[in-house]
Amino acid sequence: MSTQIPFDNSYARLPAQFFTRQPATPVAAPRLIVFNHDLAAQMGITPGDEADLAQIFSGNQTPDGAEPLAQAYAGHQFGGFSPQLGDGRALLLGEVVRPDTGQRLDIQLKGSGPTPYSRMGDGRAWLGPVLREYLLCEAMHALGVPTTRALAAVSTGQPILREAGPLPGAILTRVAASHIRVGTFEYFAARRDTQALQALFDYTCARHYPGASDPVMLLDAVIARQAELVAHWHAIGFIHGVMNTDNTTLSGETIDYGPAAFMDAYHPVTVYSSIDRNGRYAYDNQSRVIVWNLAQLASALVPLMPDQDEAIEIFTNQINAMPDRLLAARALRMGAKLGLDMADPGDQGLVDMLLKMMQDHGADFTNTFRALAETGDAPDLRAAQDYGAWSARWQQRLQARPMARAQMLAANPAFIARNHRVEQMISAATQGDFAPFHRLLQVLQRPYDSQPDAADLQAPPQPHEVVQATFCGT
């Protein structure tokens, strides 16, 4: 039986300057590594056998109804503007509408070969980043974080060349509410193509924010979603690593897991990304960066306003108010991790004091909070001078909140995709052993559950296992 995908494409009907139509570049010997049957069922996809899935999700076979295209966009990368980026190694196959919810979802191949936006690149991906993204985006989904999803991973049967030498090639199939980015708006604003900018605005509102009737309402809605998203990142110790405006979605989803990582020992200036040499996208900077990114969106929306001087004033006020929205969202998330509703004036002090002790003693971010949720104690902090006083104040506060423990267990995962385990998984898969990948994936689909058989995956890295840097997948 062949795979049936109920395509219902809308982006392909936008003006020609939004994309370039082209098929994927065929690969030598595709083999299916993993297929997300649960997600496929939600999307109304009827999968064929493994050979058929490998042909489709490698790009070797274009399924009926697909309209492959590479999207155009621009972006600020580490603060510098690139007027043309675009899908340099990805193709949007098309869209489906979920039969249960009516949500429209993109299906995109990543690593499918060169496009006009490849900038001298080969348009390919190697196995490591494909498995990393598959694992991390599914882990984030299980954690309750808005994110792109993974539908399939396929090995290509042909090596690709990188600085480290030849590496096994692979292709990821990514699912997203859309791939509309801040950089998509910047692309048309930079070209002063107001007609295309208006078409993009109308399309974005219709797809994601049907209640937004003007750019002010759209910006406010995007600010709300991005503030909640970044607050959620902070609460789970997640560091995106490359928060460029082309990686900031209008849908409010986490996208692009190249150098992404979860913190082990807590420190607010933690950086993993090998290309983030100045810490622009460090853990604690993410709130500031998202404000900067949405200021770029506001700038791109100005040409759509009838009075541009008034628009600048309105947008400036919206952006200036964003830090307080982020602080409020973050406070609620961090408070929930301690069973607090942040209604007491001392609640923020309890959060701040705990984080300071964790920083001073190098305590593991995830395990410290989980231990407090499970036992009411943090063994790694017992040596801290202020821990006893802090614990007494915290326990006293919890007496007024009988549901606090349940709240904490729901807010503090037992399992995250730890960097050293991800790297060990990639190393094994490169040698043809996919068992560690499948084990990690299975455990991370239940991050809040106690799983005694997987206790080894909760442990922080030993000194020789510490991952110092993570890398983009290009």
Residue 277 has pLDDT above 90, yes or no: no
Q: What span, in angstroms and rounded, lies between the C-alpha atoms of 301 and 185?
A: 8
Write down the pLDDT at residue 465.
93
Nearest to 61 by CA among 35, 26, 37, 10: 26
Nearest to 69 by CA among 150, 138, 3, 11: 11
**Contact predicate 262/416, CB 8 Å:** yes
* pLDDT tens digits along 429-452: 999 999 999 999 999 999 999 999
* pLDDT tens digits along 46-82: 999 999 999 999 999 999 999 999 999 999 999 999 9
CA atoms within 13 A on the CB side of 289: 25
Q: What span, in angstroms and rounded, lies between the C-alpha atoms of 451 and 141?
A: 18
Residues 128-133: what's their mean pLDDT? 97
Write down the pLDDT at residue 470.
87
* pLDDT tens digits along 184-239: 999 999 999 999 999 999 999 999 999 999 999 999 999 999 999 999 999 999 99
Residue 474 has pLDDT above 80, yes or no: no
Write down the pLDDT at residue 473.
67
Residues 126-139: what's their mean pLDDT? 97
User: Residue 431 corresponds to which tokens in the numbers above?
Assistant: 């040698």
Residue 419 has pLDDT above 70, yes or no: yes
Q: Active site residue: 87, 106, 246, 364, which one?
A: 246
pLDDT level of residue 153 (50, 70, 90 thresholds)? very high
Which pTM does this prediction carry?
0.96
Write down the pLDDT at residue 137.
97
Radius of gyration of the CA atoms of the chain, in A: 23
Active site residue 256: no
Average pLDDT, the chain: 96
Residue 344 has pLDDT above 70, yes or no: yes
Q: What span, in angstroms and rounded, lies between the C-alpha atoms of 182 and 82?
A: 13
CA atoms within 13 A on the CB side of 198: 7
